[in-house]
Chains A and B, each alone.
Chain A
């Protein structure tokens, strides 16, 4: 397992990944899927993500972004190619998956939702978990009183914060976020972007964020990848907006607009006028 230094800081290595959905009998009968039967949903994906890095994947809806996340999360099995989660340590790299709409159980209190990790991981004790919860609540500026509430009593932004805390409890090396902030209002979105950005950088986690929001991707990402309609990653943009940037300060950086324009020009070419 021991390899050289730069490789050991990688948390994910995807090589030559191809995938297509099995045709469903109903759709076949209806003749609805005939065209895309032979086509890959995602193809030729080569992707390496390092610890501490945020990668945004941009593309039109239906291009296969979410499918790629599902593949990396292990919810789907690759047709061809390999997906390797590398944690560097002995423990296998765990994934934290954040959905566009939170996946908190409505019948559990916030506390009990966050405690999911303690239910599932044998090596995490409840006292240990409770200490972690307190610490993470402070990270996200949340009051301890919300622990007793049910998810339905919280705002969208709060629920998304709780979701992130819930997945943090599993101590993941890699976060996968599927349009995580798109259902939030602008100010809540800015706040959450900043909080999440700092979390990834401070704890040296890694994150892949799937989005269709160019602005968000430039503000958050170290790299922005464009995904084509045919499921290929067509273009990579390295975003360099300074070492100690935040998603908020990045928006004020003069280089921000030129990144934005470059990506928009490229994306326009991909998705058409």
Chain B
């Protein structure tokens, strides 16, 4: 296992700069060849060149940056709100098994409602501005954070709790010294899942009704059959998701440095 992983690492380390973008380049090449000098296909599939031109235009006008910024702001705000609230609620369920049990079906319900179903309600409550999108991102993320952190709090090594009991620790001390830090892996897992869910929540809100953001940009462009702009929007969403996931990785590396060995 480890030796094959090392091998992969060594090969990718040296040739990674060429190998990583290779599938993408092949994809673009096929796309280019199939749509070249074919206006019918270009109308439906656009073409790499048209997407590039649209990208330059949108970037130069500042429209792309503004829309991306709005979506990132909505998703991140909802993500932080949802993950923080969810982690606090989930971890505090450790205090009371009865409350946790009563809450369980409600959390399951919240976790299983498609965010699409909630979107019209939330938009009519919070308006078509950014607040409704933040709320949708919040609602998409809070259940996962609750479930994950509660699982984390319940799966603590029994020895750690016994040690604390024997040492005469209070329940609050056990919570602070053992429960919170040992649940961190679970909370980080929740964050990883939630980054995508928060983007989805914000995007759906924009998609249904909005005046700015990547979702808005994509809806407007597709209704005008401006496929190049749609693809620029999709590309921007992918880049945002990758960057945010990389940030979580960085956070994990910093917070869980003890796990490296």
Contacts and interface: CB of A to CB of B under 8 A. Distances in A.
A101 B159 contact: yes
A150 B261 CA distance: 9
Contacts of A152: 258-259, 261
A113 to B, nearest CB: 10
A12 interface: no
Nearest to A149: B261
A94 B163 CA distance: 12
A73 interface: yes
Q: Which of B163, B178, B261 has the most CB of A within 10 A?
A: B163
B163 A106 contact: no
Interface stretch (A28-36, A114-122, A184-192, A218-226): A114-122
A97 interface: yes
Contacts of A106: 258-259
B259 A103 contact: no
Contact of A97 (B163, B177, B182): B163
Interface string B223-261: 000000000000000000000000000000000101101
B168 A120 contact: yes
A107 B163 CA distance: 16
Contacts of B173: 119-120
Given A74-B165, A105-B181, A105-B182, A99 B258 contact: no
A116 B181 contact: no
Contacts of B182: 105, 107
A120 B163 contact: no
Contacts of A94: 168
B176 to A, nearest CB: 9
B165 A105 contact: no
B166 A105 contact: no
B124 to A, nearest CB: 45
Interface secondary structure of A, over-half rule:
loop
B166 A73 contact: yes
Given A116-B167, A119-B173, A120-B173, A105 B162 contact: no
Contacts of B163: 97, 99, 103
B167 to A, nearest CB: 6
A75 B162 contact: yes
A170 interface: yes
A262 interface: no
Interface residues of B, number: 20
Contacts of B162: 70, 73, 75, 97, 99, 103
A170 B169 CA distance: 12
Contacts of B169: 120
Contacts of B157: 103
A107 B165 contact: no
Interface string B145-161: 00000000000010110
Nearest to B185: A107
Given A150-B261, A152-B258, A152-B261, A103 B167 contact: no
B177 A116 contact: yes
A86 to B, nearest CB: 17
Contacts of A74: 165-166
Contacts of A150: 258, 261
A146 B100 CA distance: 40
A95 interface: yes
A82 to B, nearest CB: 19
B131 interface: no
Contacts of B165: 73-75
Contacts of B166: 73-75, 95-97
Interface in A56-109: 70, 73-75, 94-97, 99, 101, 103, 105-109
Interface of B: 157, 159-160, 162-163, 165-169, 173, 177-178, 181-182, 184, 256, 258-259, 261
Sorted nearest first, the 8 A-B pairs with minimum C-beta distance are A103-B159, A103-B163, A150-B258, A97-B166, A152-B261, A73-B166, A107-B181, A107-B258
Interface of A: 70, 73-75, 94-97, 99, 101, 103, 105-109, 116-117, 119-120, 150, 152-153, 170
21 contacts: A74-B165, A74-B166, A75-B165, A95-B166, A96-B166, A99-B162, A101-B159, A103-B163, A105-B178, A106-B259, A107-B182, A107-B258, A109-B258, A116-B167, A116-B177, A117-B167, A120-B168, A120-B173, A150-B258, A152-B258, A152-B261
Given A73-B162, A96-B166, 6 more contacts: A73-B166, A75-B165, A105-B181, A107-B184, A108-B181, A120-B168
